[in-house]
Amino acid sequence: MQHRIAQNLSRIQARIEQAALRVGRDASAVRIIAVTKTVSIAEVQALYELGIRDFGENRLESAAPKISALPADILWHHIAPVQTRKAKDIVTMFSVADAIDRVKAAEALQRRCDEQDKILDVLVEVNVTGEASKHGFVPELLQEALREMCAFDRLRIKGLMTMAPFDAPEPVLRACFRDLNRLCEDAGLPERSMGMTDDFEIAIEEGSTQVRIGRALFI
């Protein structure tokens, strides 16, 4: 298992380096968020031993035993939209909330951070393409939402995230990622979380600083 995961990680890192090189970027500026929602504690531990420190989970129930069993220096990312009734547990368990899609969700996290005397890093989700099936702020309302959330002193807004349309042609993917990159620049935010297993190289070419990789690490 360790050998298989090491080979997978090496291939992913090589592809990141090549994508960055094509556009004159430093590959070290791109971070892998390993999505571990369907894998075992042993597989996460194997990836940790290979140097990965950022792991993403979308369900509290599957994340809890991993967080309890694995090293304390892991940065756990909550990668699903925040349900306000689960805000307390998200603040307790996670280092980063990667998908703030409503001001109400940010409010709930702020309140729970106050209770726990904690600071939480967050990314704000943007629905760049306007798809009805996707969460996130529409670009036209993003600046207003960011102004509201800047009042929440327990939340550190590090950047934006988006998900491109599934199986879209390359021009559509590039347009989606380019738009998020521009929104980050306009807002003065450093982190652009965009790109997953099927499209991360295009996302890197368009400015991504965080890519979510799941199955390609564990197949």
Round to whole Å and give the CA distance between 38 and 203. Answer: 24
pLDDT (tens digit per residue) in 138-172: 999 999 999 999 999 999 999 999 999 988 999 99
Q: How many CA atoms lie within 13 A of 164 on its CB side?
A: 31
Average pLDDT over residues 193-209: 97
pLDDT (tens digit per residue) in 185-195: 999 999 999 99
Tell me which H or E stretch contains 168: none
Looking at residue 192, what is its pLDDT? Answer: 98
**39 backbone φψ class: left, alpha, beta (φ>0; ψ -120 to 50):** beta
- With 90 as the cut, is the pLDDT of residue 131 above it? no
Q: Which CATH code is given to the segment(s) 2-218?
A: 3.20.20.10
- With 80 as the cut, is the pLDDT of residue 49 above it? yes
Q: How confident is the model at residue 77 (pLDDT cuts 50, 70, 90)?
A: very high
Average pLDDT over residues 174-178: 97
Looking at residue 167, what is its pLDDT? Answer: 85
Looking at residue 213, what is its pLDDT? Answer: 98
pTM higher than the cut 0.85: yes
Looking at residue 170, what is its pLDDT? Answer: 96
Round to whole Å and give the CA distance between 207 and 15. Answer: 15
